[in-house]
């Protein structure tokens, strides 16, 4: 049986399974920030109840074993972002997609690359998983660079693939990145 660990440590960060009490830290760090949510598939959280609803969903989804959401923590357990693995099952194939976001005060210090590399390390030992992918809005070249630095291969542009509600109500083009085995 596939196991996703509740904590993943990197050189400077800890990815911790989302817990019911994490909503205030998530709200302050990133979910309420328009500049963070711009290219995400979730709308900006207007009130903490919006974030609590996400946390409640994330806790249940982990138990149901289809989505694994983490807080990104540094400096003695301070929440600075979030990330997650979503299981995709197509027939007998199993792969995961992932995403991440960081508080603007934590941009441009390599944390995104560290998170992407941590998921890649997990993938390399995850028995029965053959693909780990991430998509990036075509308007977000910084995230493309993060994935390239972490060793993900650019596979192409998926046309009108994802709605990023903070940019447009229409589906947007994304760049697909992946590692496979």
Q: Is residue 108 part of a domain?
A: yes
Q: Is residue 3 part of a domain?
A: no
Radius of gyration of the chain (CA): 15
Report whether 15 contacts 118 (CB < 8 A).
yes
Q: Is residue 97 part of a domain?
A: yes
Q: Is residue 67 part of a domain?
A: yes
Pair of tokens at residue 77: 């357990």
Q: Residue 84 sits in a domain of what CATH number?
A: 3.40.630.30
Q: pTM to 2 decimals?
A: 0.94
User: Which domain covers residue 156, as residue numbers?
Assistant: 8-180
pLDDT digits (tens, 9 = 90+) for 9-30: 999 999 999 999 999 999 999 9
Report whether 83 contacts 103 (CB < 8 A).
no
Q: Is residue 2 part of a domain?
A: no
Residue whose C-alpha is closest to residue 121's, from 111, 109, 132: 132
Question: In what helix (H) or strand (E) does residue 54 lie, and over which residues does it extend?
Answer: helix 48-64
Per-residue pLDDT of the chain (181 residues; tens, 9 = 90+): 678 999 999 999 999 999 999 999 999 999 999 999 898 888 899 999 999 999 999 999 999 988 999 999 997 889 999 999 999 877 666 899 999 999 999 999 999 999 999 999 999 999 889 999 999 999 999 999 999 999 999 999 999 999 998 889 999 999 999 999 8
Pair of tokens at residue 120: 């890649």
What total of structural domains would you count in the chain? Answer: 1
Q: Is residue 1 part of a domain?
A: no
Q: Is residue 162 part of a domain?
A: yes
């Amino acid at each position: 049986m596939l196991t996703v660990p509740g904590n993943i440590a990197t050189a400077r960060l800890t990815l911790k399974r989302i817990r019911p009490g994490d909503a205030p830290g998530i709200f302050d760090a990133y979910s309420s920030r328009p500049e963070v949510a711009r290219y995400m598939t979730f709308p900006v959280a207007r009130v903490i109840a919006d974030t609590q609803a996400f946390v409640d969903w994330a806790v249940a989804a982990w138990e149901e074993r289809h989505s694994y959401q983490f807080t990104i923590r540094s400096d003695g357990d301070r929440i600075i972002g979030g990330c997650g693995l979503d299981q995709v099952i197509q027939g007998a194939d199993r792969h995961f997609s992932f995403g991440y976001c960081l508080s603007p005060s934590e941009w441009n210090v390599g944390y995104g690359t560290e998170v992407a590399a941590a998921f890649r390390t997990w993938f390399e030992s995850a028995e029965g998983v053959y693909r780990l992918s991430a998509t990036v809005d075509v308007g977000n070249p910084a995230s493309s660079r993060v994935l390239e630095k972490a060793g993900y291969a650019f596979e192409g542009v998926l046309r009108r693939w994802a709605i990023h509600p903070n940019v447009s109500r229409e589906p947007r083009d994304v760049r697909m990145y992946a590692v496979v085995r």
